[in-house]
Amino acid sequence: MSEGSVLVEICRDQPLFYRQALPSSGARLCVLLLHGIRFSSENCLRIGTLESLAAAGDRAVAIDLPGLGQSKAAPAPAPVGQLAPGVFLRQVCEALQTGPVVIISPSLSGMYSLPFLFQHSEQVKAYIPVAPICTEKFTAEQYSSVQTPALIVYGDQDTQLGEASLSNLKNLPNHKVVVMKGVGHPCSLDDPETWHKAVLDFLQLL
177-203 burial, b at 16+ Cβ within 10 Å, e below that, comes to ebebeebbbbbbbbbbebbbebbeebb
> Residue 6 — very low, low, confident or very high, per pLDDT cuts 50/70/90?
confident
Tell me how many domains the chain contains: 1
pLDDT at 55: 95
| Residue 17: DSSP 8-state | E
Q: How far apart are CA 183 and CA 179, in angstroms?
A: 9
Q: How far is CA 156 from each of CA 34, 142, 180, rounded to the nearest angstrom?
A: 21, 26, 6
Q: Could you confirm whether 120 is annotated as catalytic? A: no
Catalytic one of 109, 158, 175, 196: 158
Residue 9 belongs to domain spanning: 2-204
Q: Could you tell me how many helices (H) and strands (E) the chain has, helices first?
A: 8, 8
Q: How far apart are CA 75 and CA 92, in angstroms?
A: 14
pLDDT at 79: 63
Comparing 97 with 71, the larger pLDDT belongs to 97
Q: What is the DSSP string of 132-183?
A: -S-GGGS-HHHHHT----EEEEEETT-TTHHHHHHHHHTTSSSEEEEEETT-
Q: Could you confirm whether 121 is annotated as catalytic? A: no
Q: How far apart are CA 65 and CA 188, in angstroms?
A: 18
Q: How far apart are CA 179 and CA 200, in angstroms?
A: 15
Q: Could you confirm whether 185 is annotated as catalytic? A: yes
Q: What are phi and psi of 104, to 5 degrees?
A: -105, 120
Residues of the chain above pLDDT 70, percent: 97
pLDDT at 20: 96
pLDDT at 72: 73
Residue 46 has pLDDT above 60, yes or no: yes
Catalytic one of 107, 109, 113, 165: 107
Catalytic one of 185, 188, 191, 196: 185
Interval 21-44 mean pLDDT:
87
Residue 157 has pLDDT above 80, yes or no: yes
Calculate the average pLDDT of the chain.
Answer: 90
Residues of the chain above pLDDT 90, percent: 67
> Residue 77 — very low, low, confident or very high, per pLDDT cuts 50/70/90?
confident
Interval 93-105 mean pLDDT:
95
The CATH number of residue 91's host domain is: 3.40.50.1820
